[in-house]
Every structure is written in C-alpha cells, then in structure tokens.
Amino acid sequence: MLKVGLTLPQLGEHVDAGAICDFARSAEELGFASLWVQEHLFYPEANESVYGGRHTTSVHPAYRSVLGATELMAFVAACTGDVTIGSSIMVAGYHRPVELAQRLSTLDVLSGGRLVAGLGAGWSDEEHAQMDVDPRTRGRRMSELVAAVQACWGPDPVEFSGEFFTIPRSVIRPKPIQQPHPPLLSGLRSATGLARTAALFDIWNPSSGTSEALLAQLDTMREMRPAGMDPVRLFLRSYLQRPTDAVGSGGQGIEGVRGDIRTAVAAGAEQFIVEINFWDEMRSARDWAQAPARLATLLETARDESEATESTKEVV
C-alpha cells in the first residue's frame, strides 16, 4: 500500500509555530505517513546559479524566509508521536560530518527512531560560497561526507581520513536509535548521481518521470548495487505547484497530484511525498493548518490505486 507524506510549513513569512504544530498533528491524525523538510540558507537577490534547470532564473519568492531544517524537524518531533520525520533534502555542502552526525543522531533519539536522513548535492553556488565549499567538488565531497557520517554512527572509537574530512580517534555520541543508521535518502538523478545513490543510499526520491523511466532507473541502480545491500527503495515526490511555475498559475493542483500517485503505484514506490510550500493557496497560517484536511482525499486515491494494482496482480 502506497503511503503518503506531506512537506511541512517551512517557507514564507506566514509560517508560524502554531500553524506548524496544528499541521503536523492534523496530518498524523488523518493518516499521513511522513512529514518532510528541505534546506536553504538565504535568498540572493541576483541569482547566478542554475535554478530549475535554467541559468540565472529568479528564485521563487517563498525562499525569502526558510526555517532551519534540523530545528524544524526537532520541533515537529515534539508535536507528534508516530509519524516519520525526514529531510528531502538537506544539502551536503552545508555540513561537516561530526556536526551533521550529532544533529541527525539527536533527532533520531528525540523522535524515538523516526528519522529519514535525506542528503543532496544542492544547486546554489551562492549558498555553497557562504559555507566556503567549492560547488565543483560537491559530488565527491558528498560521497565522503556520507561515509564519514556513517563512521561517526558506528562503534567508538571513530577515526576517519579522506580528501575533505579528517576525524581524529574519538568517541562520538549519541548514536542513532536506528541501527546501523537511519535510512539515507537521495534525490540524485544524473548518471553519476544514480551510481552514488546505488553505492551509498537506501532510498531514492526523484520528483518526476514516467513509471517506465523510474523502473528503468531503479533497474540500473540494482545492477550497480554492492553485494549484500537491500534494493534501493523508491519514494516519489510530487508538487501541487512547482517552484518554477509562475506565481499565480495554481500549478497542477490536487487533480494533477492524483496522476502522479498513479505513476508512483505503477513504479512500485513505498511513499509519495506532496510538496505544498509553493502552492498559491498557502497564503496564511490558517491555510497551512487546514491543508492536511484538504489533502486527505489523496490518501483515498493512494489506497484505491494500490488496491486496484494488487487486484490486477492477483488476476494475472
């Protein structure tokens, strides 16, 4: 059965603590399986990075205010009891391994083992510059970061030496509740990114593609997967309105998301994540608090599509 998750209220000036807690509790009570954050640092007025596949495109105005990823996950962990809490995604270039391992372990401990840790390469050269990271190294730096974080989560004493990071022989705690580590999620799509996902991650989280294309890419990763590792799991992401859609256009809306649910089921996805932050209809804290109830119909769609697919398999 396909599970459905929602992105948390995170972007924009109208997001506040009350709306976030109301949103999270409502989503959990209605049966949404997971709640998700992303990560950005600031809003460059003159963007020179490739955004949405295009160079120097204006960044969506919702990014003018972004709540911190780990802080938001910790707050929501305290507001909820059972729902999965994850990042889709945090940007690897903005972190160092000991710091990130501690933050994520703390989240896993405080949430009772509910964390999914999503990492990606990011797209903003301006934000990488703020962290003194050369974006041209972001791919291999991310691979080393993942390896170093996993070392931090392993048995003490921890020791690591690589191109970008060195950790002296140390005791690094707390360790995460989930062992050997919280599930690691990747949204990488390039050929190199698929290889990196196959080698290092547990879950793949793309945001587009036909079911045929997604299945082909999963097959590619299966062939590259190291021996002894479980197959990469699929969590498909969908947008009510994409950040590159014109403000005021309304995006594809709920009906368009229903079509993406059918794609997710056909591709064998375990979870389906609905991005809400760029939707024109999120104009106030009240809009956010009421959003899970408005989107609860997607839970029915996911159930119906999953049951129809299972029935077809039984007939065959």
Q: Which residues of 211-230 are buried (b: 16+ CB within 10 A; e: fewer)?
A: beebeebbebbeeeeeeeee
Assess whether pLDDT exceeds 60 at residue 100.
yes
Q: Region 237-244: what's the mean pLDDT? A: 96
pLDDT band at 50 (very low <50, low <70, confident <90, very high): confident
What is the phi-psi region of residue 228: left when phi exceeds 0, alpha when psi lies from -120 to 50, beta otherwise?
left
Describe the chain by its helix, strand, coil percentages, rounded to 5.
Answer: 45, 15, 40
Spelled out in words, what is the top-level CATH class assigned to the domain 3-315? Answer: alpha beta
Amino acid 53: pLDDT:
66
Tell me which of 192 and 50 has the higher pLDDT: 192
C-alpha 22/C-alpha 31 separation (Å) is 14
Amino acid 55: pLDDT:
62
Give pLDDT tens digits for 267-282.
Answer: 999 999 999 999 999 9
- Are 27 and 83 a contacting pair, CB within 8 Å? yes
CB-neighbour burial class of residue 315 (10 A; exposed 0-12, middle 13-18, buried 19+) = exposed
pTM for this prediction: 0.95
Q: Which residues pair with 160 in a beta bridge?
A: 167
* Mean pLDDT estimate for the chain: 95
Indicate the range of 192-196, 247-251, 311-315 predicted with least confidence: 311-315
Amino acid 310: pLDDT:
83
CB count in 10 Å sphere of residue 249: 11
Give pLDDT tens digits for 192-228.
Answer: 999 999 999 999 999 999 999 999 999 999 999 999 9
Q: Region 283-306: what's the mean pLDDT? A: 97
Q: Which residues pair with 119 in a beta bridge?
A: 90, 186
Assess whether pLDDT exceeds 60 at residue 302.
yes
C-alpha 299/C-alpha 99 separation (Å) is 37
Tell me which of 55 and 217 has the higher pLDDT: 217
Give pLDDT tens digits for 4-21.
Answer: 999 999 999 999 999 999
Please give the angle made by the CA atoms of 307, 308 and 310, to the nearest 5 degrees: 65
Amino acid 54: pLDDT:
63
Q: Region 25-38: what's the mean pLDDT? A: 98
Question: How far is Cα of residue 105 from the mean position of the Cα atoms in its chain?
Answer: 17
Amino acid 46: pLDDT:
82
pLDDT band at 236 (very low <50, low <70, confident <90, very high): very high
Tell me which of 236 and 316 has the higher pLDDT: 236
- 55: three-class secondary structure by DSSP: strand
C-alpha 235/C-alpha 273 separation (Å) is 7
